[in-house]
Amino acid sequence: MPGIVECVPNVSEGRRLDVIDGLARVITATLGVRLLDRTSDPDHNRSVFTFAGEPDAVERAALALIDATYKAVDMRGHKGEHPRLGAVDVVPFVPLAGVTMAECVALAHRVGAAVAATHHVPVFYYANAATRPDRVRLPDIRKPEYEGLAAFLETTHVPDEGPRTLHPSAGAIVIGARPPLIAFNIELDTTDLKLAQRIAKEIRESSGGLPAIQAKGFMLTDPPRAQVSMNLLDHTVTSLPRVWQEVESRANAAGVRVLRGELIGLLPLDAALAAAGAALKLDGLVRDRVIEARFLE
Amino acid sequence: MPGIVECVPNVSEGRRLDVIDGLARVITATLGVRLLDRTSDPDHNRSVFTFAGEPDAVERAALALIDATYKAVDMRGHKGEHPRLGAVDVVPFVPLAGVTMAECVALAHRVGAAVAATHHVPVFYYANAATRPDRVRLPDIRKPEYEGLAAFLETTHVPDEGPRTLHPSAGAIVIGARPPLIAFNIELDTTDLKLAQRIAKEIRESSGGLPAIQAKGFMLTDPPRAQVSMNLLDHTVTSLPRVWQEVESRANAAGVRVLRGELIGLLPLDAALAAAGAALKLDGLVRDRVIEARFLE
C-alpha cells in the first residue's frame, strides 16, 4: 500500500477569511487528499492547515497551496505576533502510516526543489530533512524573520535551494519532515505578557526546561490575554498533562489563573488517551482499551 | 452492511484462570467475532468479556459462551463480593454501528428464548429489552441474588422465559440490550469499606445522587483496599471527570487519598476524549480533532 502522509502548512494569513477559504479550497480540490483541520488566528495573523493522503496527492496539494498563497499573500504588508520567514512559512511532512521518515524527507526535498525552480524563493530544510545540524530546529532558522533575513542569505542563512535573495512578496520558505507534534497553547487570565514569556522560557528545552518542548509567550488582543504557546515535539517524553501542570503551577504562583487550552491542528490519539489516563489515574489507557466503531469495521 | 454489535457477558468465575482461558477460547473460536477485552477479578470472583462482530456471529458466540460456562461453573460453590444471579450473570448486547437498538432487543430475546429452551434456566430481560418497568434496572432484578432468588420466582421474579425454578448449578440469567456504558472503579487508600459504601450511596442516582450513575462499595483483599465501583450509564450526562472529582473530594474530606482508577471492559472513544478535554480545558475535543492513522485508511 502507498501509505499516508500528513502535511501541516503554516501560512502567513490569519485575518482575511475570503483568502483563507480560497486556500482551503485549493487543498480540498486536490484529488486524493482530505483536509482534516484548519485553524486561523488574527493576532498571530497565521493559518494552519492539516491535510493527509497518499504521498503523490499530498505533494500535489502542497505545491498547489504554495502557488495559491504566493498569489494571495504579500509579505511586505504582513504584520503578526508569530515569527515567520515567508508567505508560506513552514511546510512539514509527517509519516502517518505505511510511509517511512526517509520517504517524507525525500518528499520534502522534491517539494523544496520545485518551489525554488518555479517561484525563485529561498528554501530551507528543517527537522529530519535538515542538511546541517544548525537547521534542525525551526526557531534557529526563523530567528531573523522576514524583515531581517535578507542580510543573512549570503552568510549564516545560505538557502538549501533557490536564490540567495529574498523574494519580495513571498519571502523564504522552510520545508521539512518530522514526527507528529502537538501544537498546544495555554491562555492565562492576565494581560501580563512578561509572565507568559517567563513561563515559556522556564519550560522550553532550549533554556534548560522540559525535554522536547518549544515555547514562546504571546499577547492576544480580543480579548486581551497573555498566552503560552507550545510545541510538544514528543509527547511520550514530556506529556500534555505535565506541560499543563508546569504552566498552571507557575501561573498560580504569580496569582494568575489558567483559562483554557487551545489545540492548533490535530491531537494524536495516543496523546489524548495518555491525558485521559493521567486524569483518571488509569494505567495503560492505550488504543486497545478504547472502543470505537471505526476501529472495528 | 450488516452492522456491528458488542456483547459484554459477565461470568461468575474470576479465580480459576484455566476455566477463564477456556471461556475466552470459546469466544475467539467463533468465526466473525473479535474478543476485544477480558477482565477478571478474584475478589469479585467474576470475569467480564468484551467481544464484537456482526449480529449473527455475536449471537453464536454468546450462546457458545453460555453453554461452556454452564458446564464449568457451579453456583452452589460460588462465593464473591459482586452480586449475581447465575453462572452467566448478565449478557448485554450493545449496538455499535449500522445496527438499531430494536435489533439488539430482538437479538437479546432470541438468545433468551434459546437459553431457556436448551438449558432450562430462568431468563430475565433488562434495560432496553425489559418487558416491565421494574426490570429496567439490573440492581432491582439482581437484589435477591442466587441464594435468595428461588423464593421469589413465583411472585416478584416470575421469569420472562424458562422455568419458575432456579437451575441448581446455573442459577438464573439476565439478558438485555443497552447503549454503551462505562464500568469504572476507583480504589481508595483505606480499608474502610464503610467509607466506600457511603461515597457510593451519595453519588448513585438511586439514592438521589448523580444522574445515570450506579455505584457500590466493595472490599478488595490483595492488597486490602476499599473500592467505589461504578457504572456510568450515559457519560454525556455524568462524565468520568465529574465522577472522579465527586469521589475524590469525598475521600479527601475523610482524610483518604484516591489511589487509582480501573476500567472494566472498554472505554468509548468519546468518553476518553471528553476526559482529556476536561483535563486540558480544551473545549470540543471530539473525534475530528484527533489524528489516528486508522481513521484515515
Residue A132 binned pLDDT confidence (cut-offs 50, 70, 90): very high
Q: What's the angle, vertex CA A83, arms to CA A94 and CA A201, rounded to 5?
A: 90
Compute the distance between CA of residue A2 and CA of residue A97 in angstroms, rounded to an integer.
9
SS3 at position A261: strand
Asked if omega into B223 is within 30° of 0 (cis), the reply is yes
Asked if B282's CB is within 8 angstroms of A269's CB, the reply is no
- The domain that holds A61 is classified in CATH as 3.30.990.10
pLDDT at residue B96, as a whole number: 92
**Helix-strand-coil percent breakdown of chain A, rounded to 5?**
40, 30, 35
Q: Is residue B297 part of a domain?
A: no
Whether B284 has its CB under 8 Å from any CB of chain A: the answer is no
pLDDT at residue A26, as a whole number: 98
Whether B3 has its CB under 8 Å from any CB of chain A: the answer is no
pLDDT at A224 over 80: yes
Asked if B294's CB is within 8 angstroms of A280's CB, the reply is no
In DSSP notation, chain B reads ---EEEE--EES--S-HHHHHHHHHHHHTSTTEEEEEEEEETTTTEEEEEEEE-HHHHHHHHHHHHHHHHHH--GGG---SS--SBSEEEEEEEEEES--HHHHHHHHHHHHHHHHHHH---EEEEETT-SSGGGSSHHHHHTTHHHHHGGGTTTTT--SBS-SS-BTTTB-EEEEE----EEEEEEESS--HHHHHHHHHHHSGGGT-STTEEEEEEEEETTEEEEEEEEES-TTTS-HHHHHHHHHHHHHHTT--EEEEEEES-EEHHHHHHHHHHHTT-TT--GGGEE-HHHH-
B85 and B99 fall within a common domain: yes
Q: Residue A11: which of A34, A53, A40, A43 has the closest Cα?
A: A40
Q: What percentage of chain B has pLDDT greater than the value 70?
A: 98
A114 and A192 fall within a common domain: no
**Closest residue to B290, CB basis, from A266, A295, A297:** A266
Residue A293 binned pLDDT confidence (cut-offs 50, 70, 90): confident
Residues of A in contact with B184 (CB under 8 A): 280
- Residues of B annotated catalytic, as ranges: 82
A71 and A140 fall within a common domain: yes
In total, chain A counts a number of residues equal to 297
Q: The domain containing residue A54 runs over which residues?
A: 4-177
**Closest residue to A272, CB basis, from B244, B259, B285:** B285
Residue B241 binned pLDDT confidence (cut-offs 50, 70, 90): very high
Mean pLDDT, chain B, whole residue set? 95
- Residues A32-63: tens digit of each pLDDT: 999 999 999 999 999 999 999 999 999 999 99
Compute the distance between CA of residue A38 and CA of residue A134 in angstroms, rounded to an integer.
30
B68 and B128 fall within a common domain: yes
pLDDT at residue B215, as a whole number: 97
Last residue in a domain, options B177, B210, B234: B177
- Write out the three cell numbers for A16: 482575511
pLDDT at residue A222, as a whole number: 86
pLDDT at residue A1, as a whole number: 54
B147 and B198 fall within a common domain: no
**Closest residue to B266, CB basis, from A4, A262, A290:** A290
Last residue in a domain, options B143, B177, B211: B177
In DSSP notation, A95-141 reads EEES--HHHHHHHHHHHHHHHHHHH---EEEEETT-SSGGGSSHHHH
Q: Residue A126: which of A114, A117, A134, A115 has the closest Cα?
A: A134
B171 and B204 fall within a common domain: no
Last residue in a domain, options A126, A150, A177: A177
Mean pLDDT, chain A, whole residue set? 95
Residues of B in contact with A268 (CB under 8 A): 290-292
Residue B1 binned pLDDT confidence (cut-offs 50, 70, 90): low
pLDDT at residue A284, as a whole number: 86
B237 and B163 fall within a common domain: no
Tally of domains within chain B: 2
Q: Is residue A163 part of a domain?
A: yes
**Closest residue to B272, CB basis, from A266, A290, A295:** A290
Q: Is B42 exposed, middle or buried (0-12, 13-18, 19+ CB in 10 A)?
A: middle
Interface of B with A in 188-227 (CB under 8 A): none
Match 502537538 to its residue by C-alpha cell. A182
Q: Is residue B295 part of a domain?
A: no
- Mean pLDDT along residues B22-37: 96
Asked if B285's CB is within 8 angstroms of A180's CB, the reply is no
Q: Is residue A295 part of a domain?
A: no
- The domain that holds B188 is classified in CATH as 3.30.70.670
User: pTM (2 decimals)?
Assistant: 0.88
Q: Residue B296: which of A280, A291, A269, A277 has the closest Cα?
A: A269
- Closest chain A residue to B289, measured at CA: A266
pLDDT at A231 over 70: yes
- Write out the three cell numbers for B18: 484455566
Q: Residue A8: which of A121, A114, A120, A127 has the closest Cα?
A: A127
Asked if B279's CB is within 8 angstroms of A278's CB, the reply is yes
Interface of A with B in 123-182 (CB under 8 A): 180
- Residues A65-93: tens digit of each pLDDT: 999 999 999 999 999 989 999 999 999 99
Whether B253 has its CB under 8 Å from any CB of chain A: the answer is no
All residues at 6 or more sequence positions from B259 whose CB lies less than 8 Å from its CB, including other chains: A281, B187, B188, B189, B225
Asked if A297's CB is within 8 angstroms of B97's CB, the reply is yes
pLDDT at residue A292, as a whole number: 84
- Residues B157-201: tens digit of each pLDDT: 999 999 999 999 999 999 999 999 999 999 999 999 999 999 999
pLDDT at B19 over 60: yes
- Mean pLDDT along residues B103-125: 98
- Write out the three cell numbers for B117: 429452551
Q: Is residue A144 part of a domain?
A: yes
Asked if B289's CB is within 8 angstroms of A294's CB, the reply is no
A120 and A10 fall within a common domain: yes
Interface of B with A in 44-83 (CB under 8 A): 50, 52
How big is the A-B interface in CB pairs under 8 Å? 135
Q: What's the angle, vertex CA A197, arms to CA A194 and CA A202, rounded to 5?
A: 125
- Residues A187-221: tens digit of each pLDDT: 999 999 999 999 999 999 999 999 999 999 999 99
pLDDT at residue A297, as a whole number: 61
pLDDT at B297 over 80: no
A95 and A195 fall within a common domain: no
A121 and A241 fall within a common domain: no
Residue A2 binned pLDDT confidence (cut-offs 50, 70, 90): confident
pLDDT at residue A139, as a whole number: 93
- Closest chain B residue to A292, measured at CA: B269
Asked if B293's CB is within 8 angstroms of A97's CB, the reply is yes
